[in-house]
Structure 1
């Protein structure tokens, strides 16, 4: 029999689900099964579960026809579980690496009905806070098992389904199911402890409990929080049916009142107008369920709250709560106070510009104005340029203005209206534009006005981790202000993605309430629609003759290794390319891009770092060699050979972090050393059948939306208001 059945319900967690599943399947214990339950999720959760089930026989995907809620979704997974133990893990949480052997050893050694495991809360800023387990069990609990009557303090552990493994036959024998509604864990987690004959505790952190910025019910203002009362009533009905558990009623009652007060005390849950009614419900339950012999009332302020609940003293309770909040706010303000820095001459100039910007904010929005920018004002490029071109054709009533650096003005195509960054003209259009389109973020001072629409087009499909995920890889995130990043992300109305994978990763990297526009990358439309004549013209413009075979080498940037260049000898590579070979070398835009013309020809090796349009280079190249760059996803649209050259694969993955291993799921042939790269071309592996199969699978996964109409879809949705 399988030892552990993991039941993983998934609803709107597409950005986190892969990490959850990987944390289970990568454990050094094979005797598991994973039942992934797509609870009618409107995002890609079902596709992800199906994908994992197709490649790992330990995974089964259960796709519910409609959203049933967390409790019923867990029940559906439980009905299909075959393991000796069941572990309910939420789709946005994940297991600590290598924790499962200890869990498995404890289960097989003691055979408990319930095994409690430790966890940490992992906040969006990567802070981790411990659970109450060390306080509840200050002495290591060891391997001994117990009944709840012997250790009633176990009730003080967090009442969730995911911090406990339950023996399946014990659970089905109880006939216990998850109830529908919010706070469904309550009516499950307490009864299993109350009824268990053998409870074990493993003081090993096993679960990473994700504290999301948005999306959790604990941060949702909703009257559904009143459903907590129904869940606790179910617990007491369970107690009433078991007279032998009467001695535990006082401890359970104290936990109930504590939980009610916790829900009420969280200002993100109960609307102010509903708090008196919620308090009255607490008072009613206090009077109805209070044990005849009393219960252990806490000391101090917590005890006072219990007494006010018993007396129905809402007004006193509310006044004391307000006073405490005001006192804490004053303390926090004192801690945040900082001396005002002396203003420099440049600071004074910036201040004047910002004052002008604020004045312009008071003027009406121009309903016909769209502002575009790309790569920190480097010029006319990438997705914003493709959107601008499509808008001129499909929405000619929209006036498009570009923001560019002064030293990049001469790179703009003829007829492009622009303003120079850092001028009053720039501040004016930022303040008054109806639409703001960028492939990076606008500066921090830019405010999101009511009526403005911010469109984040991004500039690549992510291989390396991005956004908040970079917090786990500090070498690649030096100097990043993650709180500031989130404030910028909050301005987005639309996030444009080229494929489902990007949508999922941006969800976790940039969590906010924006619309996901999975329409393809507008910049790739040109790659789809380019004619043979256009390709010939591009090649001729780069000095490439029709009979030359062109290899484009485009490595990515290593933030964790400033100045690093992968080992690459262009002339030794030319030796195996043959006399018809031509090599184009392009640096990442973080390197060598200072506005000077740097293109130079050195025989058959050409530095093309200063070529403005990377799409020209894609069209000109017969083969792409890259590493962890998003270039591979764009180039794959052309259905031409791609070679992954990743000599620092392991170091890059550990130091910078990746969302998936491009050497395991490549778009073509793979080389881990320069000699292997030469051998790929020497033996023709870049065009062989295995490379072809890999490229087709890669294209199917990442290029579905690249059909030449991405920019049109975006313009029709964002500028013309047509339905998606």
Structure 2
């Protein structure tokens, strides 16, 4: 084990807070921040990296460098939750131990409240406090046994025999503060395996001579949609028998605690029953064996003279059926609309019947169905994947879903179907592969053998998915349950950086596999030549020597209607005739809102309808945006970026964001129109300040975009190859030339490297 030690500033802090971490990069920052932002500061925070394969180790090191209270501990091999906690205890110096799971959070003021309770109770062996469960859809539910804590809190300081109901609490480590010398005196340690809290919690509570209760919610216990590891199907659930053997071994070694045998026997039988009836825990072929072990343990550990606990039949209690909605009768006043409604209803039934019939036919193994931006264009990652599929998997047949007014269409000869048509439903029923940068309709039924790839369409600055539960303005009535039903169809989720991997894990909690391959649409940028840049500028009619600013504002959820955030005419006039300003409206907006022309200074061009945003990137000398995800793609070109964040506080409050763009910025960031004009008139847009910010931004957000993303996707998803070309480190990638820049010396470009 290696350690990075940071002094907490106190020789013996009151608390040692131990946080074991494994594959929680999406939630770890929330957890650590919830501790570090506490008003009470007399603690050390021991964060134990249990050889996590994701970005947890780097996150821990960043926090340790930034805050002296954080101690980073990196285990050399994965040892599991219990032994990782033991490693933290061995290093702890605090008078009291606290354990916090790395996807949970501590509520503000909790440490101060626990410290006050310790002082009031004159340093008890244990302080037990309350918690609530937080759910993926924003719900918060209280501890079901909060009444036990409320009753016990009135009793002052006591031993377990005075409040035996505490044994009925959830067997967890993180709802208590433990006096460290009490733990060390008894030599308590966590065992390995599943249900490791059981042989820790019961002996600790039984042995404690002084217990105090804090009737206050101190921890939010995150209920992840996929469930915890205890909800995964595995024979490891048989560990529950070994863990209760340890509990009763403790009683055997300490016969003065025999009075608890009956209660623990009943808790044990109830625990076995929970494991047995919980769906998805035990493999089907292991259930009979589990019940045999249950019967053996129950017979062996039942106290003499104690009645046998009711076993039950091991059946799940069926959920209550929802009351069927009553059918309403249309008013006779609507007679005139009946024929049209009947026609629409009949058409819907015919399509549904056709779709059901098509699903009875075999899946077509050589058909891939593509869509992008709600069927509005042939573009983005799906189009780039399609182009590479034609090259590497020529036997595959593509079908694109496109509306009649799509802004761009596939090459001639590629079949297209209209959303909701017979052809659409045939494709949905018979296709093998489905590629989209949004979601297919909720009425689509995923058949066994079908494969869904979610490519997304940007790196998320703003909150997405279930992370919008607390942002009603940004959510705009989105049904999160229905959203997650669609997410459950995903087999793969494509990401362009590890930041996005973690964000999608939070926003769309499900069982898909993350493909950290880069964005295929950015291959065109990374592989661009000087000729490509010149061709893009020529198509746009850019005069030689002109500097091009590409302005791409994003959508504001808090605006009921589109609103221009920048006076374009004033901006164009001020920056002067050496610039051309390309303006691209967000795709949510009516593209006719922006007018092209000249304003006595810079040429002003509306490129909202231009079919290829990648060509616009190549033509531009600088990107001017606010919070649009285009900044992450454009950063691959290593060209200046200016952020106009004039409403940042309103935006982040109403929509929610994953980081502060004014701090972790890709270039020069300003918040007033006067500052923005100065940035361009002074030349700061292309100066050292911009270069330094962009370098760090590119390292973080252009992590996997090396020009071979589409190839990796096609080889993995369509060709079934697990070995795909490795990602080239960003420092080894050639930088695409800027407008007017002569080609660099011959370099081996990513597309020229030998393929696997």
Q: Give me the TM-score of the superposition, normalised by structure 1.
A: 0.90
Q: Distance in 1 between matches of 2:160 and 2:231?
A: 32
Q: CA deviation at 1:471?
A: 1.4
Q: CA deviation at 1:409?
A: 7.2
Contact 1:118 1:133 in 2 (8 A): no
Contact 1:503 1:516 in 2 (8 A): yes
CA distances 1:52-90 after superposition (whole Å, capped 9, x unpaired): 334333333333333221111211222222323222211
Look up the match of 1:490: 488
Change (3 A) 1:54 1:577: farther
Q: CA deviation at 1:496?
A: 0.8
Q: CA deviation at 1:505?
A: 1.1
Look up the match of 2:310: 308
Contact 1:5 1:85 in 2 (8 A): yes
Look up the match of 1:204: 216
Contact 1:253 1:289 in 2 (8 A): yes
Q: Distance in 2 between matches of 1:630 and 1:429?
A: 31
Change (3 A) 1:142 1:241: same
TM alignment of 1:489-528, pairs within 5 A: 489-528=487-526
Q: 2:321 aligns with which of 325, 333, 338?
A: 333
Look up the match of 2:158: 146
Look up the match of 2:639: 640
Q: CA deviation at 1:500?
A: 0.6
Name the Cα RMSD after superposition. 2.6
1:156 aligns to 2:152 (yes or no): no
Contact 1:599 1:611 in 2 (8 A): no
Look up the match of 2:596: 600
Q: 2:103 aligns with which of 92, 96, 103?
A: 92
Change (3 A) 1:668 1:276: same
TM alignment of 1:421-460, pairs within 5 A: 421-460=419-458
CA distances 1:645-682 after superposition (whole Å, capped 9, x unpaired): 22222222222111111112111122223333333334
TM alignment of 1:225-624, pairs within 5 A: 225-270=237-282, 274-275=286-287, 277-292=289-304, 294=306, 307-309=309-311, 317-318=312-313, 322=315, 325=317, 328-329=318-319, 332-335=320-323, 339=327, 344-408=342-406, 411-563=409-561, 565=563, 567-593=565-591, 600-603=596-599, 604-624=603-623
Change (3 A) 1:650 1:83: farther
Q: CA deviation at 1:456?
A: 0.9
Q: CA deviation at 1:714?
A: 1.1
Look up the match of 1:631: 630
Q: CA deviation at 1:429?
A: 2.1
CA distances 1:582-636 after superposition (whole Å, capped 9, x unpaired): 322222211125xx79763344233322222221221222222222221111011
Q: Distance in 2 between matches of 1:212 and 1:512?
A: 9
Q: CA deviation at 1:293?
A: 6.8
Q: Distance in 1 between matches of 2:399 and 2:712?
A: 21
Change (3 A) 1:413 1:119: same
Q: 2:195 aligns with which of 176, 180, 183?
A: 183
Contact 1:567 1:674 in 2 (8 A): no
Look up the match of 2:720: 721
1:79 aligns to 2:90 (yes or no): yes
Change (3 A) 1:367 1:75: same
Unmatched 5+ stretches in structure 2 = 1-11, 331-340, 725-756
Change (3 A) 1:416 1:283: closer
Q: Distance in 2 between matches of 1:570 and 1:308?
A: 76
Q: Distance in 1 between matches of 2:352 and 2:517?
A: 35
Q: 2:48 aligns with which of 28, 32, 37?
A: 37
Contact 2:125 2:179 in 1 (8 A): yes
Contact 1:366 1:433 in 2 (8 A): yes
The range that moved more, 130-139 or 463-472, is 130-139
Q: CA deviation at 1:347?
A: 3.4
Contact 2:370 2:399 in 1 (8 A): yes
Change (3 A) 1:720 1:285: closer
1:112 aligns to 2:111 (yes or no): no
The range that moved more, 379-388 or 545-554, is 545-554
Q: CA deviation at 1:280?
A: 4.8
Q: CA deviation at 1:282?
A: 4.2
CA distances 1:240-276 after superposition (whole Å, capped 9, x unpaired): 3234333444433333333333333423434566555
1:70 aligns to 2:81 (yes or no): yes
Q: Distance in 1 between matches of 2:636 and 2:16?
A: 41
Q: Distance in 2 between matches of 1:202 and 1:680?
A: 55
Look up the match of 1:313: none
Change (3 A) 1:223 1:713: closer
Q: CA deviation at 1:286?
A: 4.1
Contact 1:476 1:655 in 2 (8 A): yes
